[in-house]
Structure formats: C-alpha cells, structure tokens
Amino acid sequence: MIAGAHPRTEPFPAGPSPFIPVPLTQGGEGRRAFRGAAPCSGLVPEDRRFPRRPGEFRFPLAPPPPPPAFLRPAPGSRLPVPCPLPRAPGSRFPAPGSRLPAPGSLLPAPCSRLPAPCSRLPAPGSLLPAPGSLLPAPGSGPGDAAALLPGVTGPPARGPRSAALRQRPPPAPAPGQHRGRGADVRLFSAVRRAGAKGTRGNPDVRKKFLTVRVAKHWRRLPREVMDVPSLETFQVRLDRCAGRIPEAEAVLDLLEKCPEHQKKGGFPVIVFEGLDATGKTTVTQAVKDTLNGVLLRSPPACISQWRTVFDDEPTLVKRAFYAAGNYILASEIAKASTQAPVIVDRYWHSTAAYTIATETSGEVQDLPPVQDEVYQWPEDLLKPDLVLLLTVDPDERVRRLQHRGLQKTKEEAELEANNLFRQRVEESYRRMVNPACQEVDASPSKEEVLKTVLQLIKKHCAF
Ligand SMILES: Nc1ncnc2c1ncn2[C@@H]1O[C@H](COP(=O)(O)OP(=O)(O)OP(=O)(O)O)[C@@H](O)[C@H]1O
Ligand SMILES: Nc1ccn([C@@H]2O[C@H](COP(=O)(O)O)[C@@H](O)[C@H]2O)c(=O)n1
C-alpha cells in the first residue's frame, strides 16, 4: 500500500465532513523531517538500501559489473595511461584549451566527474565538443564545465537499460512542437526568419547577428534544460551518472517499477507549491485532515534519503533526481486518487521553477519569455486537478523561517540572500501553464489561509 494512504472501504466522504476545518497544527517539522527519511522498504530491494547519511557511503555495495565485452581491451593489449587529459592546476577538470583525444580512444582512470576507465568517447556529432576542439574554461557557462563532460551529458554509462534507452528512437515531438533540442531549433528558426527579413544580401550582418543571438541564449539556459522533459530524458540523465552515483541506479530501479503514463483516479488531486516557509506543510496537513484525504510529498519518501547526495550535484543531475521523484510520485498519486482526495506537497512546478531560476541569472525580465516551452507540463506526467501557489510577503516569510527554527539548506540560504533568485523562482511558478498555478496569498493567519484554500478547492474540484 502507498505510504501514508488511508485504507478505504467506502466511498468518499468518510470521516470528518469536508470543508469543516480541523484545528491547525504547528507545521513545518513534518515535511523537513522527510529530508533523509528512511526509504520505503517495500519498494527498495534489500541490496539497494543505503545508510541514512550520504557521507557514510560513497561506493556501490557490490563491486561494479565488468564492462561489456565490446569495451574490454583485447587480451594482451596494453591499458592506457590514466588521465591523459591535462588538468588545470588544483582542478578536477581538464585545463582550458586542452584538446580532446580522438573518438574511440580510451578514457582516463576514474576521477570523480569522468567516466569509468574503458568507456569510449562518443563519436563526433554527439553532444560533446568535436575531438580536437578546445575545452571551455571550468565554470565558464551556466551549466559549468561539468555539464559538458561525460557522465553528465555523455553517453549512458552501462547496463542493459542503457542499451535499451540508446536503441529506443527519440520521443516524437508533440504537434506543433520542435523535437528534443527545441532551443536550437527555435533559436535558429528565429534567426533564419530575422535574417530573411533584415539581412538579405548582406552575409556579414547575418554573421554578426547569429553570433550575438547564439551567445546570448547560451549564457541564459543550457540546451539540456530546454530539452522537452519526459521520463525518458530523466532516465537517460540518471543512467549516465549511475556509474559514479550508485543512488542514481537505485532511483532508476524504482522508476522501472512504476507503470508509464499513470492515470488519475476519480478523486481530486490538489498540489501546493511555493517557496520554503510559505506554509505548505501547515496547510497541506490541515486540508488533508479536513477532506479526509491522503497527503503525499515530492520527492517521495522512498527516495528522499538520497536528496543530500543529489543536492550537491550539478544542476542537470540534481534536477533529474527531483524529476524522477515526480514520476515515482505520480504512481503513488494514481493509486491513492482511486481511494480519496490527494493532497500533494510540491510536484513538477517546483522542479521546473527552481531549475529555471538556478540556470538563469539577473532579473525576472531575463527569464525565458512567457509561453516558452520551459513552462509547459511534461506530456507524460500525471496532471493534478488544481495547483495552488502559496505566496507570502518576503519579511513575513523570513519571520516564519526563523520561527521554524530548522537549519537552512544551501538553497534556502541562497533564497534569503539573493532577492533576484527568489523573484525568479516565484515568477517561474507564475509562468507555468497547463496546469497553471492559482496564487493564494498565504500571509494571513493559518485559519484564514485554510478557509481561502478550501473555497478554491470547492470551486475548482468536483466533489
Ligand atoms: N498562516 C500562517 N501564519 C503564521 N505562521 C505560519 C502560517 N503558516 C505557517 N506558519 C508557520 O511558518 C513556519 C513554516 O511553515 P511550513 O513549515 O508550513 O512551511 P513550508 O512551506 O512547508 O516550508 P518548507 O518548504 O521549508 O518545508 C512554521 O513554523 C509554521 O508554523
Ligand atoms: N518536486 C520537487 C520538490 C523539491 N525540489 C527541490 O527541493 C527543494 C525544496 O525542498 P523542501 O523539502 O525544503 O520543500 C526545492 O527548493 C527544490 O530544489 C524540486 O526540485 N522538485
């Protein structure tokens, strides 16, 4: 049975009658206690359970499987000299300006961000820079150099799933939508249109225009962030880093147990979103009690123990973890919503809003424009009936954070210190569509906020 789900034998509503608010609890502690919670033992196989603190464990419990035969060196052949890429002094990255080895050559010994020895460099034309091209200086782009190195955007690391993922054709674009690398396609079609109108017959102008537009776009959002989000995209991303992060393999195992294209049951699914300390824990608990519903959270309990591992990873890996959590959560929602109303504390909008805000800089005007594809809900992820965005006056939010008294995460500290980051997250939430968020001013008292929320639920959800 789903963690936290109420077993039900009779149709809703049973228990306390809906819309009669129950007394409000303090809130806050419950949700936070989830960071590092024990895994759902039923879902995680015995040999895949990890200790609570990530620092206790950094290597797979079992020795890694041998590389597939086609990657093993021929008998009698000499192993390559480890780490042929020159390193910048004191850095894990190759020195800026160093050249990549030829395709098919053997890669260096493991050095945290590089793949296991014996894996092969991808062929030219893949997402990696062409062989012989100059490597960017570490930290030079929004995704930083790590995002360009294998293990993050390189080929899937290993395993039969990797092979299956590689063989599968890329997902077909939705009607009217560009294929996977939408950012490029859109960017270049925009340039071509502008070129046709304003630069016809003047190739020099076109050249300059192209350079400026492309550079500007890449400083804002790396292409991978713009990829059309789907379960497969995130599986591939996790698979690529599974060689060095065993927890990624465990997440993939859980994902494989979730049926694809989950369908909602007959009861409403209501999601609560917002910055930290806006009152999500408090209000979700109260709504759950009032409606006699089921309360679920993202990331779900069975993977939340690995949050600290992924929170320290580059954005693309971190977000693939949270996105995978949303797909696992979807299967919990699908099941629970056949039994009772489902209240969800964070879901896809959180993953998207924090990704967009992290990968951009500057003011809200610098975010991708309203109606951009990045604000769309993934086609293959179960949709809720209603998404409520709790917003609170910034000073009040700081007071609540202090009152909560828990240690701040790195991201929460950044939210507090960096006004622009906070504004970008909130504005990204507001720009999400299909479904869009209904904004709720959560600054008033807990009782008033609950009343407003229950009215909105009554208005938008069929009971
Ligand atoms: N309407 C309200 N008025 C005053 N205080 C509130 C209100 N709602 C919540 N609080 C208090 O603010 C603090 C943060 O609330 P809560 O934990 O519910 O927020 P949250 O959005 O779940 O935070 P996080 O995302 O960090 O888990 C708690 O101490 C809680 O008691
Ligand atoms: N669906 C989700 C859920 C969470 N995140 C990330 O976690 C942070 C908030 O976690 P709390 O437990 O403090 O609420 C949030 O800032 C996101 O970075 C996510 O990306 N997607």
Query: pLDDT confidence of 221, banded at 50, 70, 90?
Result: low
| Residue pair 387/453 in contact by the 8 Å Cβ criterion | no
Q: What is the mean pLDDT of residues 106-112?
A: 37
- Per-residue confidence (pLDDT) for residue 407, from 0 to 100: 84
Which tokens go with 344? 């969800």
Contact 93 CB / ligand 2 (< 6 Å) = no
Contact 337 CB / ligand 2 (< 6 Å) = no
In this structure, the residue with its CA closest to atom 17 of ligand 1 is: 28
3-state secondary structure the chain: CCCCCCCCCCCCCCCCCCCCCCCCCCCCHHHHHCCCCCCCCCCCCHHHCCCCCHHHCCCCCCCCCCCCHHHCCCCCCCCCCCCCCCECCCCCCECCCCECCCCCCECCCCCCCCCCCCCECCCCCCCCCCCCCECCCCCCCCCHHHHHCCCCCCCCCCHHHHHHHHHCCCCCCCCCCCCCCHHHHHHHHHHHHHHHHHCCCCHHHHHHHHHHHHHHHHHHCCHHHHCCCCHHHHHHHHHHHCCCCHHHHHHHHHHHHCCCCCCCCCCCEEEEEECCCCCHHHHHHHHHHHHCCEEEECCCHHHHCCHHHHHCCCHHHHHHHHHHHHHHHHHHHHHHCCCCCEEEECCHHHHHHHHHHHHCCCCHHHCCCCCCHHHECCCCCCCCCEEEEEECCHHHHHHHHHHHCCCCCHHHHHHHHCHHHHHHHHHHHHHCECCCCEEEECCCCHHHHHHHHHHHHHHHCCC
- Per-residue confidence (pLDDT) for residue 429, from 0 to 100: 98
In a mutational test of the pocket of ligand 1, which residue from 311, 322, 404, 425 has the highest number of ligand atoms less than 8 Å from its CB? 404
Rounded CA gap, 219 and 359, in Å? 9
Q: Which ipTM value was assigned to this complex?
A: 0.99
101 or 54: which carries more pLDDT confidence? 101
Atom of ligand 1 nearest to the CA of 274: 21
Q: For residue 29, report the distance from its CA to the centre of ligand 1, in Å.
A: 9
| Residue pair 234/320 in contact by the 8 Å Cβ criterion | yes
Contact 282 CB / ligand 1 (< 6 Å) = yes
| Residue pair 300/252 in contact by the 8 Å Cβ criterion | no
Summarize pLDDT for 338-354 with one digit per residue, the tens.
999 999 999 999 999 99
- Per-residue confidence (pLDDT) for residue 286, from 0 to 100: 98
Question: Considering every ligand atom, which ligand is closest to the CA of 381?
Answer: 2
Rounded CA gap, 404 and 418, in Å? 20
Q: For residue 111, report the distance from its CA to the centre of ligand 2, in Å.
A: 29
- Per-residue confidence (pLDDT) for residue 79, from 0 to 100: 37
Least confident of 174-178, 181-185, 458-462: 181-185
pLDDT at 303 over 90: yes
Summarize pLDDT for 382-399 with one digit per residue, the tens.
999 999 999 999 999 999
In this structure, the residue with its CA closest to atom 26 of ligand 1 is: 276
pLDDT at 22 over 70: no
Which tokens go with 380? 């293959």
Question: Considering every ligand atom, which ligand is closest to the CA of 279?
Answer: 1
Contact 403 CB / ligand 1 (< 6 Å) = yes
- Per-residue confidence (pLDDT) for residue 376, from 0 to 100: 95
Contact 220 CB / ligand 2 (< 6 Å) = no
pLDDT at 220 over 80: no
Atom of ligand 2 nearest to the CA of 415: 16
Q: What is the mean pLDDT of residues 408-433?
A: 93
Rounded CA gap, 322 and 302, in Å? 12
- Per-residue confidence (pLDDT) for residue 404, from 0 to 100: 86
Q: What is the CA radius of gyration of the chain?
A: 24
The model carries a pTM of: 0.66
Contact 276 CB / ligand 1 (< 6 Å) = yes
Contact 48 CB / ligand 1 (< 6 Å) = no
Q: What is the mean pLDDT of residues 281-291?
A: 98
Contact 375 CB / ligand 2 (< 6 Å) = no
Summarize pLDDT for 64-94 with one digit per residue, the tens.
444 444 334 444 443 333 333 343 444 334 4
- Per-residue confidence (pLDDT) for residue 321, from 0 to 100: 98
Contact 450 CB / ligand 1 (< 6 Å) = no
Q: For residue 1, report the distance from its CA to the centre of ligand 2, in Å.
A: 25
Query: pLDDT confidence of 462, banded at 50, 70, 90?
Result: confident
Q: Which of 139-143, 201-205, 419-423 has the highest mean pLDDT?
A: 419-423
Which tokens go with 138? 């570490």
Which tokens go with 237? 């991303």
Contact 411 CB / ligand 2 (< 6 Å) = yes
Q: For residue 295, report the distance from its CA to the centre of ligand 1, in Å.
A: 16
- What mean pLDDT value characterizes the chain? 69
- Per-residue confidence (pLDDT) for residue 302, from 0 to 100: 97
Contact 278 CB / ligand 2 (< 6 Å) = no
